Structure 1
Amino acid sequence: MKIRHLAAPIAAAVALVGLATPPAQAATYKCGASQSHRVVLPNKSDLDLSVGLCVFRNSDGELYAQVQTNWEPTTLTGAVGRKFDGFKVNARLEYRFTTGGNDYINKSHTCDFTASANDKWKATANCKSGDTPWDGDLYWSADGQVQWDIDADGKGWQDPWQLTGSPLLS
């Protein structure tokens, strides 16, 4: 009988501790602040770019980086004609061993948005790195760059716009 009386308070204490401590839930994504850049286009409306970088962990435990690129004209009256000979966005999934350590590229993918950028003056396009399995011992982030070759300006590909990486996901 005494065993029964001791078991009930212990079971109640274990149940209360279980209720008081919610299960640990890891973050499923981290996104950085939006980044902006104006592309000066000769003899037509300039183009405002807005880019967001996120690192995601899906329900299957796979990680990937995504760069979402938005563009729109600065004035509608000049929004005519071909804009680019080339317009590419690179998405990189990177990792670190410590929060202050160096970034290492895990997966990288370049998306060619030339056709859609020339077709639409206002649009959104997503570029996604490849997937990789989650490793909880590492710190993960999304990074990337945007590069363009303006139509008929005679300058070729411009230096890439290096983006600021997302916050770390751990």
Structure 2
Amino acid sequence: MWKEAVVISRLEKNDAYIESSVCFLTGAINQNYSGTYNCTTAYHSGTGIYTADGKANYDINNDGEGMQPAWEITGSPVY
């Protein structure tokens, strides 16, 4: 069982922070350990170059290690 599983996504425009969203996945993962999980991400309308990156944090219940360091999610490329 997972004690906590969180994904944070960041939306950027021209490499500047615009908005972020947080997705708490603990309940979904504990109900169905395998599979794909979807999170709603930040959205912004307008012209320009948008990119995104994020991080994931997790803590597996009773493993004695506590919350693990953030797993950085590589940012999207700029086109």
TM-score, structure 1 length as denominator? 0.43
- Larger relative CO (CA 8 A, sep 6+): 1 or 2? 2
Q: Is the 8 A contact 1:91 1:110 kept in 2?
A: yes
Matched residue, 1:159: 69
Percentage identity across paired residues of the two chains: 34
Give the equivalent residue in structure 2 for 1:116: 28
2:30 match: secondary structure = helix
1:166 shift after superposition: 0.9
- Quote the offset at 1:155 in angstroms: 2.4
Equivalences for 1:67-82 in 2 at 5 Å?
A: 82=1
Indicate yes or no: 2:41 matched with 1:129: yes
Q: Residues 52-111 of structure 1: CA distance to partner in whole angstroms, max 9, x if unpaired? A: xxxxxxxxxxxxxxxxxxxxxxxxxxxxxx2x1000111111121xxxxxx221110110
Q: Distance in 1 between matches of 2:30 and 2:61?
A: 10
Q: TM-score, normalised by structure 2?
A: 0.86
- Aligned residues, how many? 79
| Residue ranges of structure 2 left out of the alignment (5+ in a row) | none
Which one-letter code corresponds to 2:53 in the other structure?
Answer: D
User: What secondary structure sits across from 1:115 in the alignment?
Assistant: helix
* Structure 1 contact 147–158 (Cα < 8 Å) conserved: yes
CA distance in 1, matches of 2:38, 2:20: 14
Unaligned runs of 5+ in 1: 1-81, 97-102
In the alignment, the residues of structure 1 paired with residue 26 and residue 61 of structure 2 have an alpha-carbon distance, to the nearest angstrom, of 11
Map 1:75-114 to 2 at 5 A.
82=1, 84-96=2-14, 103-114=15-26
Structure 2 counterpart of 1:165, one-letter code: G
Q: If each structure's helix is expressed as a fraction of its own residues, which one has the higher value?
A: 1
Residues 88 and 146 (structure 1), Cα distance of their counterparts in 2 relative to 1, 3 Å cut: same
Deviating 4+ runs (over 6 angstroms): none
